[in-house]
Structure 1
Amino acid sequence: MYNKNILIADDNIDLLEVYETLFSEFNSISKNIEEGFIVKTFETGIYLLEYFKEEVHKGNKIPLVILDMLMPGLDGLETGKLLRKIDSDVIIVIITAYPDKISLESIKAQLKEEIYYVPKPFRPKEIYCLVDSLLKSWNKKFQIKESEERYKVLFENTGTATCILEENHIISLANTKFQKLTGYTKEEIEGKKTWTEFVVKEDLEKMVYQHKLRRVSPHEALKNYEFRLIDKEGNIKNIFLTVDLIPGTKKSVSSLMDITEWKQTEDALRKSEEKYRTIVENIFDIVYTYDINGKIMFISPRVSYYGYRPEEVIGHSFIEYVHPDDIEYVLSDYQRTIDKKVDTTTICRIITPRGMNYIEEISRPVVDKNGNIEYIIGVIRDITERKKTEEELHRIATAIEQAEETVLITDKDGTIQYVNPAFEKITGYKKDEVMGKKPSILKSGSHSNEFYSSMWETLEKGKVWKGRFINRKKDGNLYNEEATISPIMDNTGTITNYVGVKKDITKELKLEKQLNHIQKMQAIGTLAGGIAHDFNNILVAVLGYIQISRYDIGDTKTIQKNLDHMHRACERAINLVKQLLTFSRNTEGEKKPLYIGNIIKETLKFLRPLIPATIKIKENIKENSHMVIADPIHIHQIIMNLCNNAAYAMREKHGILEIILEKTIFTSEDSLLSKEMKSGTYIKLSISDTGHGMNQAIKERIFEPYFTTKKIGEGCGIGLSVVHGIVTSYGGVITVESKEGKGSTFHIFLPAIEYNVIPENIKPLTLPKGNERILFVDDEEDMVLEIAEKILVKLGYKVVTKTSSMEALEFFRKEPDKFDLIITDEIMPEMKGSELAKELLKIRPDIPVILTSGFIEYIDREKVRAIGIREFIIKPFDINNFAAIIRKVLKQNARL
């Protein structure tokens, strides 16, 4: 009794699974093997050999062994030799990738016995045919005779669909698998169905021919072939058929194996092969194979990129195309690949019909089972453009490394990825100390969160941000930076990095501050000289309107008109005081939309008494709806400086000082535009004199700091440089036209904006009123409390006034529910208004508090709002605004 196993050894696990699937239905192929064969697979020849020895030792014969030629440890050839020494009857089938005759004869000679081979790649039917034939031969050799019962068992358990066909095409016997394959029952098939009913029409003719031929000339008829079967449900299946006559009869036995999945797999493999062939032929990179001598065996069509056809280079040595200067190290890399059997990446230049190109070549040796290199496979990628880019980047990197400005690069989240040496020099931080950190390590606390939020909002929109930072060095010292931060985007428009270029302007700002302070002090002297004159006019107007009102007391409309004039005169006095305060504090004013014309008129009123009567002032201020964003004090500085200079140039004779204000429009073609200016609408201010003028040499230097043509003690040479700095900081341009003996004209261009301003008229006293209870606290009893109480009572409120913070606190503590609102001045003895508010809110958290003050700079709005103060009123307060704010706060509190 022999063992019914077919043994298979292959180190490819995926192929072993294929074999197991293939031979799981092997019993359909051979009709002579009792109960079919069970496949056992092994990953090495050694494991198979050990199993074979054990079975032979038990007395079991194994008819057939399938071996892969190339396996680790013990290859197919050596395993076959050892198997033959143990049992010379075993059939050896070698699966080999060397199908040439010379190699096969060598294998046979070494085994000294007949062997069978199947070349790779193989089709399933080839294995079927060969194994079937070999098993039949093996069965005949041992003359196995089967009894009828065993025949029936075998018939039912062949592992494939099997049937007996009569000469007239009737199916006389069908096993269970045949029934399952076709979908019909045994009763529906046997003696009733013909085999032709199951065949697709296109395959029927050839099968009928083979059926007849088999009964006339059996040796000429095919025993194995494929056809398509139609089952009961109409499904079409691919079948591998094994058919033969039963000896001594006209009947035939047919074994049908469903290979539909195999066909699908085969088709998928074919498509996969076509896909990868298409990829190799169409990818941008060049795929090649060399022999060990460097001769080109294969090269993909992409070689046409360099002006070659594949057939032109195949058979040539690759070194023929390498640049002469690179041959030595290219050969060294190639030899390393051969000697050490390792992958190698080489960058070199090649000479082609289209010139010189840079390539990157990746080579890999393909080694056989004996460790010998069969050939070299690799990929060539053109990197000419990359090399050019790398060279350009190197030049840029060198420039950045040597720049005096700080260069800082972050990722999209703001994490520092690069800083240049200038950053280290200015900040005191070493590169390693800041890499991976945020630029916030430089924060000084001088900027608000809103400042940084606004900056990030601009950058995240993909826009460039420009501005100034006050940052802190590693040693704790503060410094000023002028920065431009730009987003870097990829091809899809997605921000990947940010790059900041920053300049340390600490020294420049200190100098500028000093110059501004000197200029401001000069302006204060001029301003003070004109204030007395203008205040006399204001007082004359106030007193005059009051006296007129006494006579017109019976005419209400006339009195109201006079009072309006008095109101405007008082507002003008208030504005003058604000200007004086701004000057005295030595701080920057607020940039806001304004009409320059109003400031020009105001400044000329100050200047007129100070300019010699021999100089005539002409003004031509054209009214329009355009304004500029500027600090009024800066504009005042510009006008005062240029007008004083003009008056100085005409001091020795009669002359004309002319001021013209008009709108102008620039386009991109205008030669006057500087790179900082954009096309658009500008306000043009021209200040001309008929003085002695300037030559070209002086014109070229007039905006330099400390340059002056005045005598010692008459000027310091900082005025025009300050004017130039102010104008350019606003995105404007200042130019000068001058000829010796003809006078000079300065033109200032500032970007204009459209800004509709409602003319300021005295509002009628239709005031919002109420009836709530208010506690008013101020230490100025005569000037503030008296008028405030009258106003509040006039508005309908019930008022209690206190001149002491402590007195007000104790009064409130006794009756906290008596009041609906507290109004307190900030600057008071004993306790400030904000401190009083804090204590009041401890007693009654819901009481609304309004803070008043004549000094806005003393109030930290964020801080006092955090205390719980609802609103602020700046003195002197307008009755309309005063009434509106009180009503607003009371309404808000009512909703809480």
Structure 2
Amino acid sequence: MEGWIRVLYVDDEPALLNITQIYLQKLGEFNVSISESAGQALEMLSHGSFDVIVSDYQMPEMDGIGFLKAVRERFGDIPFILFTGRGREEVVIAAINNGADFYLQKGGDPKAQFTELAHKVRQAVRRKQAENLVKESGEKFRTIFENSPYPIAINSLPDGKFISVNRAFLQSSGYQEREVLGKSPIEIGLLSLIDFGKLASQFLMSGRIDNMPVALTGKGGGRIHASFSTIPVTINNKPAILTMAAEVTKLKRIEEELLKKTDDLNSAYTNLAAAEEELREKYDQLKAQEEALRESEEKYRILVEHNRDGVFILQDGRLVFYNQALAGLSGYSAEELNGILLADILAPEDRDMVVSRAKDRAMGKEVPERYEFSLLHKDGIRRIRMQVRTYLGLYKGRPASFGTFFDVTEERRQGAALRESEAKFRTIFENIQDVFYRTDMEGNILLISPSGADLLGYRSVDELVGFPIAAKMYENPADRAAFLAKLKENGFLRDYELNLRHVNGSVVRVSTNSHYYYNPEGQIAGIEGILRDITGKKKAEEDLKRSENLYRTVFENTGTGTILIAPDTTILRANAGFERLTGVSRKEMENQQSWTTFIHPDDVDRMKQYHTERRRDPVAVPNVYECRLVDSGGAIHFCFVHVDVIPDTGNSVASVVDVTPLKTAEDALRQSEEKIRVILDNLPDLVVVHRDGVILYVNPAMTESMGRLPDEVVGHSILEFIAPEYHAKVAESIRLRLDHGLNESYEIELQPREGKRRIVNIRGTVISFEGSPAIMNVLTDITAVKQTEKALLESEEKYRSLVENSNDIIYSMDTTGVIRNISPQISRYGFSEDEVLSRSLTSFIEEEDLPGVLRDFETTLTTGRSTITIFRIRDKSGMIRWMEDNGTAIFDLSGGVVGLSGILRDITDRKHAEDSLHESEERFRSLVETSPDIVWEIDPRGLFVYISPMVSTILGYMPEEILGRSITELVPERAKPFVMQGLAEHIMSDSPLPPLQVPARHRDGHELTLEIRSSKVMDAEGNLTGLRGLAVDITDRKKTEDAIRLANHQINLITSITRHDIKNKIAVILGYLGIAKEASTDPTHGDYIAKIESATLAIQSLIEEAKVYQELGSQEPRWQDLESTLPLAYVPGSVTLNSSVGGIEVYADLMLGKVFFNLLDNSLQHGEHATEITVSSRRTGEALLLLWEDNGVGIPEGEKEKIFERGYGKHTGLGMFLVREILALTGITIRETGIPGRGARFEIKVPEEQFRISP
């Protein structure tokens, strides 16, 4: 895979890892390695090399940003791409700030997404490669620049100032670097103005300068002749020139000398012409000799000049002849070598030895014909290992040494490298933990590492060399044939397992990587490879398998639903019992669903807390607890759960027992007991339950009758509340009920806390109360009956006197309504007694009042209860009179009703007065008496002047305890300034006070929350006399709101995580659909794939809509300036938006801006030719009407309501449906009332107290 891009992809979603790997590797240029966690990826980076990293953001333990930081800290600037479904701005900023190369968001068309990912990977790698090339190129340039023997300078343009110079420049010019940089050649006197102008002119015309001769002036004033070559370059994105100078001062001097000698030769030429004739005669004689000599020298020259070895002649220790090979080896030029001392080009460590042997040879002493030394290169650094061979002779008539240098540097380097390699191999071979072996083709051991003897139990390697591995080392010799066959088939083996025999007879299990090795002729010479001991590993695997079989048997056959849970709550494994309990198959839940999916929403938070705390401290949370489980059909199961953490894994195992039948029975019993308690609590008779004379329960009628609270009665002796003279009677009755079951009733007197004794009739029976026998007594209060009996006699005595002297009419009648007796006062109305007697009372009553009168008469006659009836009669003159009749039943001796007696009181005057007050008082009285809230009124000092009876229910105080006290006495100390400020603002303000939520203190000390709604009370002159209002107990609502807010937060968190996971799954589905679409050739399959893709994209759209729903109502409504919520920045230039809603504030959801954005979008998208939009407001009754109007095509009559339906319209978004939903959160309504063809008109109605208008 040479040239492939090595990609490391990290994501906690296995399916996304696989589809991304498939897509990228299918392109044929990527080798993708995958990891499910950042920790594992860091480990892979420690042991492998990658060109680029692609990482998800949201991962457990370490997210993508944390992973990026760790990579930058430990592995430098490896290209890093963040590939995630999280599109939040802060994530992008964090990624870029921490060095991410690219940020790519998941989602959308998979083919386009993975194509973009591949492009980003290529781009990141190429950019990194380019950076490396630039860096490498810069290093090379720096090396050449600094070590070049030629002076080099870089000057800026257009001022020509030096940016950088090398050492050769400084040595040649004599300047220090600080004297040069930042100055031009003219400033330091290096170039004359004329020469600088010539150079500049040439550069401007040609764009470069090639070998232009220039005269320079060094620091000391000396002339330096040089040949300039200049090219344009770019330094730090600015133009510059690079100049290289070859110093030709010596050549210039030689040239001048040659010119002088030319003049001398011209002078001598005349003298030579005279001697020419004489020489010509001798020339013919010498010509033949010279020709022979020239031929010999030509052969010698060719031999020497083309010799790869260095050839030299040495006289007086100096080189007087040498070939080009020697010059190339030494680095000197031909001129520099001419006449140079040999000692000057020898390495200092060998100099004395070579000079000494040269002297000895010259003196005739015996020295080695060949020996080695190091030649020192001209750069003073490199040493070339030479072998020299010399002999003595004459050169130009004088003694000289002739010799040849042989370069043996590479040979010696290779020899040293071979020795080093052999030493390393020996160290590895002798210390390797695995076993290296080599055999011939017959299977005899030729070579084996010492670890082989240790593995097989032999004392040394010597016992194994020559050992027939096939016959004696295999547990089963036949395995050798299978091994050879497999090797022959593939040419090599990887992780091939064998069973070998230990010297003690035991089996040693090994894994081998083996291959053929070849002799120099290319023929197979044998087999070599590595053996690794896997005996312990295999034993562990077998033990693990046995353990897993045992675990699986227990797991599958336990009598309860059992699951294995990962640290992130994912169900790793489930048994059949859990399948039956949930109705979900293992395939659907294992490694896919969280076990919290099946937990009732009210129990999820507690379960998650247990799950998290258990991993920090297993004993910190209970191992056995109760929770509710919801199966696939929505049924709720009550379960006992036993959970424990599996050591060293982080996983936990849970057993779930369904106790729903038991729970159902308990609930039924509880409901039955509750019904009984309700009956007892509402029974008008007094009920008391006691055991051994100690009260266990009393109903409200009992405590009310006694004037005590329940806790003042329960737990006390029953005798405390009974008159002392009845104690013995009660004790005897208790004994008879328990011992003999006698349940006869009897009468006693009770002693209330206040007031007179109460006479009661007691009926009792033995019951089971809270699992033990007890007595339940039902006490009927007969005090009134007794008192009535006593008063009856007195009443009869007084009756006659009363009848005769009363202003009221006293009468009696039989059960048919016929008047039998009537007092003389009837004469006041024009009737005599005789005219009335024997007539029906109803004959005198106005017809409209008869039904009510007859109903009350019937009630008295049938129930015996007294009634008060008001009706109208006509006196003898025909005048209407209002009468109040207090009717009472007349009983015979047997208790039967035989008639009715009554007192008729003329209330005509009172009735007229009452009627004048009735309308005003009735409404207030009804409101106060029936209101579930506290009705209150305070004076300007904040003191209560009225408070309704509901204060006793809500705050525990009687009304009379509150009157005259300050309103602040009912609130905690910390809230008093807040309450006083709120009341003061209300008194000073002319606008209504919004509901005010304040904490209040109950009489028993606990706190509750009241919502105060108030209005001012003014007198006839318009002066403030106080405040009046309602106090609503919203404690439970507040708790519910807090609970809902917390639940919403948890739901939003779960929804966010779920949405992220679903989007990942959708990306996987779309990815595989893309692969299937490309691979499929069947049109039918293509249709199926298209339908699946369409449905998947629909799910993706629903997920995005769910995100919008999640934000609805997620925050408390607030007062918002209406003008600032209008989407003015999004109005195109072709449309005019006129607004007249300045100064209006609306109490609405924080997504109010989205409402007007969607209204603008509706006008632009569907108005077709809308060019003007008007936003205005007007009051309508107590409400405020906001109007959004455009001049587009309008809304057809049949669609005015449909446009607010979800999914209706030309687009797939939420549109107007979302508008109505947002407004409805705070009770605001919207409707469309425009005229089709003349534009759309939306009316938004804001309720009273949800808007305010600044003056």
Larger CA Rg, structure 1 vs 2: 2
Higher relative contact order (CA 8 A, sep 6+): 1
TM tier, shorter chain?
0.3 to 0.5
Question: TM-score by structure 2 length?
Answer: 0.31
